[in-house]
Amino acid sequence: MSVDFSTDPTAQGFFAPMRFEADIEDCETQGEIPPELNGSFYRTCLDRRYPPRYADDTPYNADGAVDMFRIANGNVDFRTRYLRTARYTAERAAHRALFGRYRNRLTSDPSVAQLSHNTGNTTPLLFNGRLLCLKEDSPPMAVDPNTLETLCEWDFDGQMTARTFTAHPKLDPRTGELIAFSYEARGDATYDIAVFIFDAQGKLKRQWWFKSPVLSMMHDMAITDRHIIIPTTGMVTSRERLDAGLIHWTYDSSVPCHVAILPRDGSGEVRWFQGTPDQAMLLHTTNARTEGDRVILDAPVASANFHPYFPNADGSGFDVAGVSPNIRRWTFDLSSTRTDWDEEILFDGIRATSMVRIDDRFLGQPFRYSYILAVDPKMPFDRARGGNLSVRVANAWWRFDHANGTIDRAYVGSTHGLAEPQFVPRHRDAPEGDGWVIGVANDFSQMRSELVIVDAQQMQRGPVARVKLPFRLHTQVHGWWVAG
């Protein structure tokens, strides 16, 4: 029973799993790390230890690993660790995969039927002294932010009673509150949604429980200073689907988008809006704000299935258009009884990815810039080396100016793919956009990964510094910056 990934098309070339942990002191660096850049950049990543039990499983069901680039005084130290989940421990003892298709416990080995399938592989976020590594099908995995040692699956001292927890909670930069939601919150294929507000000390301040009109993936949310916004998608499931042993999700192009909006202060109940099916693939939000009675949400939104491993419900093949959203502005009028909303397309004609970030100091407030991962067709990509993926690898970071509609572009090299950009302000009180865009670039020519640092106000200059690792890194989902 040997470990052999050679028949897995998602595990070839640069995308072969790492399967090791490492520390690197005094990382090799070209260029100069800005002396003001001081903090830790965390990434949660996909890294299968054992070949999947089912060839049609999604790479998003890989084991979770967390990386840390610690930057201080122009020097970078690197560390990567697997999350020691129940799944990691059980499969390590068995020397093979025991967990089955993504989020379908009926496809797992019976020996692990009662264990958490948490991978914690989606988003890292520091809250109240713990690095939370999040996967939306499970509670947070709590990790020591210095050692990356896994602490436990974390229920906020028993305050968080849902079975799941979003990978995209929002940390309010003004109040320090953590605002989160859970879907399928009472277990697989339940329509329950829970919403939680924790204060900066981790005390549960308010919660809501209500039902969703659809049983769909709800990957991200948004907040404003007054509201919480949670959209549904066309990526749906059902009890029957799970009982049939299928992967959790299927994309139903007839299902419209719904948006839940709640007042943060508890002054009212959830209000549901209903859009159209071509609005039903919002994976990540850019930012939102409340202006009077209007809630305004900016986000990349696609009109089709974003993931080839989640099949279309109508049996049609995967269409790459689903991974290429355009940037939309949705305006909800809370003063009227309308259940739909107004949509405006921003940056007309642009197709990016859904991997968008902002200067997090402006979360929930008026803002000007967003930073997005993009697939620039002008840049070459060595598909043979990158593996047999059905989509091109992203190779550019774009800065959107939401005030004047312009785009600034950063490339890091013709042989490099990129992960999600992370904005880091120059200092705590720097104006919006004054700082760096950092993130990992994958050099396919050398099969090495780099942390690259770009001046956010001079994107076109490309990296001012490159921190070169001696190996390929695993595929990042999301990253997180912690200053100081």
Q: Which of 176, 245, 268, 470 binds a copy of itself (CB under 8 A)?
A: 470
146 contacts a copy of itself (rule: CB under 8 A) = no
Q: Which of 447, 458, 460, 461 binds a copy of itself (CB under 8 A)?
A: 447
CA distances from 377 to 374, 421, 449 (A): 9, 19, 22
Task: Sort strands 258-263 and 227-231 into parallel, antiparallel or unpaired.
Answer: antiparallel
Residue 71 vs 304, nearer CB to a copy of itself: 71
16 contacts a copy of itself (rule: CB under 8 A) = yes
Which string of x and - marks every residue 386-415 that binds a copy of itself (by CB under 8 A)?
------------------------------
Alpha-carbon span 61 to 74, nearest angstrom? 36
**Span 80-109, contacts to a copy of itself by CB under 8 A:** 92, 95
Residue 70 vs 307, nearer CB to a copy of itself: 70
Six token digits for residue 26: 């005094």
3 contacts a copy of itself (rule: CB under 8 A) = yes
Which long-range CB contacts under 8 A does 469-472 form with residues at least 24 apart? 469/24, 469/27, 469/28, 469/78, 470/24, 470/28, 471/18, 471/22, 471/447, 472/14, 472/16, 472/18, 472/442, 472/447, 472/448
Residue 118 vs 449, nearer CB to a copy of itself: 449
Residue 17 vs 325, nearer CB to a copy of itself: 17
Alpha-carbon span 89 to 103, nearest angstrom? 18
Six token digits for residue 70: 């610690």
149 contacts a copy of itself (rule: CB under 8 A) = no
Six token digits for residue 480: 């997180």
Part of the chain binding a copy of itself (CB under 8 A), chosen from 15-23, 56-64, 163-171, 429-437: 15-23
**DSSP structure string for 346-398:** ESTT----S-EEE-GGGTTS---EEEEEE--TTS---HHHH-S-SSPPP-EEE
Only one residue has tokens 């499983």, namely: 57
Q: Which of 9, 30, 144, 338 binds a copy of itself (CB under 8 A)?
A: 30
53 contacts a copy of itself (rule: CB under 8 A) = no
Part of the chain binding a copy of itself (CB under 8 A), chosen from 169-177, 240-248, 318-326, 470-478: 470-478
Q: Which residues bind a copy of itself (CB under 8 A)?
A: 2-6, 13, 16-30, 32-33, 49-50, 74-75, 92, 95, 446-448, 470-472
